[in-house]
Structure 1
């Protein structure tokens, strides 16, 4: 085949693959117990609501298996349980598949990088958990639990799948563990944690694509802290901190919240209340949500050193934005607002600037977002 024909064939192949690929977003809304399925057009950011599945009261954190075949969703009412849904690769439709108990009410859910274990973090019970997932995608009823300091808020494994880290908000610690691939057991690395300044409130986590760095958002400080990951031991070393709250927002330092004072109704002071943290697919941009000001802060990431620098803070239309998610191509950002009736799509510039380009109706109190790109053969 001549060179021009090779190029033409490659272009046709690329167009065909793009035409057969679909991008779906799944968003939970605990206020009405729904999981809403959306289709995202990665060419223009258009968002379309496809269907809504009734999962159950207070459906909240979710996780998609690494192979993209199953979505797990946790219910935060007794009896605490996780529901599994099979994802149709063509339509993205969710079909009930499995059900299993959870150790506690989970504020966070994830799987390890191989899809062998379901990981959870319970804010109210100060606990992280691990349970095996069998080949039929059934989570085990035998659950490993580990007590933490006050308010565990996340648990994720690193890209190598050898280590696991947890944001421990009330203790101002980032917990560090080694993951046993055969049993799922978590073993503390060193003393088991690395501390951050008082009243930081470590919450959600993000890893650099190369697995060398971990980023942690402080709910009460509005900062993002960067850590290097020791490749052999998994131990963390702090390397950088960046503040994502410009003075013009006029926000006081945040406070620890729980079910009794989540909205701080008796405190009229506008306070920092950061939530989610996401890294772009190319690893060069970090975005953080801040709920009180309904805004998103952008940070530049140096992929070679892991260091952070604050870029700018941008308002969003979604009130009290909880979770965000990048599209697989990194061009679009999905934003949910706990007090918004819409889910928004924003175009993302190289510097993190946001421009709203689409929207779709959301469920009540929409928050958790999982995005999946399928390739239909």
Structure 2
């Protein structure tokens, strides 16, 4: 098996092995069906955490076993390994459908088929046990897919194929399985510098700017627009989507140029869809932008560092997430192994108020549990998950001293279910 050069090489220089045999969801399988309403009393609920990871097959050759399912202790935040779905290679990014009935996972590989593509797999979610049942697997439309998201309607999934340099749209069938590819876009642009001019002092880390490298693709909250962060071309792309055909059309302003060399990696929206927070990995900056929900225009208005002025050395920003009440924003920094805490002003502007050690190496994705009481970090090189208790008044976080062993973890998806 052959893999392209890992995007992870740019920078400086339980029940594992047991396949889950879950059953198909009993909920009605159609585009508009919704899961039954659940009792929201915490004592009558269970919270599960799905964890994606790098496995032996797939760059950079990880220690993970597949998609691991943990049960969360709501009082302590600790995670207990329940089961692992092993019949998948390097599920480096996973996402639940809006109605929580299905889970989609990309396999960050480049040899799924003769076109050197990666793949994406659909699963049904058992709402009694949290077990996964594989529905089908299809080509992702490019090598080494790094991200998967679902349109708010649940009718399409979007894939960012990092090494392949493409963004793809795949139709979701009524039973949650994946149908045909409705769109495949390969953008191009001028060669950008490997490092940004506004790097932190002493940063030797580089990001791959050899070609287009879409790192994230996701719809805005209204579902009218689809955005992609291209870390190779230093651009934020915007398209409109035709929900009848799944085709994408460039918005009135088709892309916004970011700082050359900055490598926009991930982004998140405010719930009203009018503010956009763009994380650039190479210079470790968050760009605060206004987003026009009528035209899709991105208007940057603030840039803040994810490391304090005291920091000197190499760093690459990785994950970004808003607190559930949207009063605070959090970012993970690889190499420097820190979490940045930003307070949000009424106009959406950011102020860095704290930076805390992750207590592990190479923190990537970070995620809140459904209650917003705990923040979890997937530490790829340390093979562990670390967790932090959140002060919802100040936004500051404190380490729980709880380490959850997990081979090469990369991302999370949380699911709250009624207790049996």
Q: TM-score, normalised by structure 2?
A: 0.78
Q: Is the 8 A contact 1:314 1:353 kept in 2?
A: no
Indicate how the Cα distance of structure 1 residues 365 and 331 shifts in structure 2: closer, same or farther if over 3 A, else same. same
Is 1:216 the equivalent of 2:240?
no
> Does residue 341 of structure 2 align to residue 279 of structure 1?
no
Q: Tell me which residue corresponds to 1:260.
A: none
User: Match for 2:76 among 21, 44, 52?
Assistant: 44
1:333 aligned residue: 375
- Partner residue of 1:355 out of 382, 398, 401: 398
Corresponding residue for residue 20 of structure 1: 44
Shift of 1:212: 1.3
Q: Does 1:250 align with 2:292?
A: no
Q: 1:148 to 1:300 in 2, by over 3 A?
A: farther
Distance 1:197 1:48, change over 3 A: same
Cα distance in 2 for partners of 1:355, 1:65 equals 31
Partner of residue 198, structure 1 = 260
Query: Would the aligned equivalents of 2:71 and 2:79 in 1 still touch at CA under 8 Å?
Result: yes
Q: Which residue of 1 aligns with 2:152?
A: 113
Aligned mates of 1:16, 1:331 — CA distance in 2: 16
Alpha-carbon distance in structure 2 between the residues aligned to 1:136 and 1:36: 23
Q: How does 1:91-240 map to 2 (within 5 A)?
A: 91-104=129-142, 105-149=144-188, 150-240=212-302
Encode CA deviations 1:208-234: one digit per residue, 9 max, x unaligned: 122211111010111111111112112
Per the TM alignment, residue 56 of structure 1 is displaced from its structure 2 partner at its CA by: 2.5
Question: C-alpha separation between the residues in 2 aligned to 1:170 and 1:276?
Answer: 17
Higher helix proportion (structure 1 or 2): 1
Q: Is the 8 A contact 1:34 1:52 kept in 2?
A: yes
Instruction: Name the counterpart of 2:200.
Output: none
Offset at 1:341?
2.8
With structure 1 as the length reference, what TM-score do the two structures score?
A: 0.86
The aligned residue for residue 369 of structure 1 is 412
The answer for the alignment partner of 1:10 in structure 2 is: none
* Structure-1 separation of matches of 2:399 and 2:369: 14
> For residues 262-273 of structure 1, what are the structure 2 equivalents within 5 Å?
271-273=314-316
Structure 1 runs (4+) deviating above 4 angstroms are none
Name the structure 2 match of 1:258. Answer: none
The match for 1:293 is: 336
Counterpart of 1:66? 98
Deviation at 1:310, TM superposition (A): 1.4
Answer whether contact 2:284 2:305 (CA < 8 A) is retained: yes
Query: Separation in 1 of the partners of 2:279 and 2:407?
Result: 25
SS where residue 312 of structure 1 aligns? strand
CA RMSD of aligned residues (A): 1.9
**Contact map agreement 1:33 1:59 (CA 8 A) in 2:** no
Q: Which runs of 5+ in 2 are unaligned?
A: 1-37, 55-61, 113-117, 189-211
Q: How many residues align?
A: 344
Does the aligned pair in 2 maintain the 1:28–1:363 contact within 8 Å? no
Whether the 8 Å contact between 2:147 and 2:161 is mirrored in structure 1 is yes
- Flag the 1:107–1:161 CA change in 2: closer, same or farther, 3 A: same
Distance of aligned partners of 1:359 and 1:102 in 2 relative to their CA distance in 1, 3 Å threshold: same
1:73 aligned counterpart, secondary structure = strand
SS at match of 1:58: coil
In structure 2, the CA distance between the partners of 1:320 and 1:182, relative to structure 1 (3 Å rule), is same
- For residues 113 and 152 of structure 1, the distance between their equivalents in structure 2, rounded to whole angstroms, comes to 21
2:362 aligned to which of 316, 320, 337: 320
Question: 1:113: Cα distance to partner?
Answer: 1.1
The Cα of 1:143 is off from its aligned counterpart by 4.1
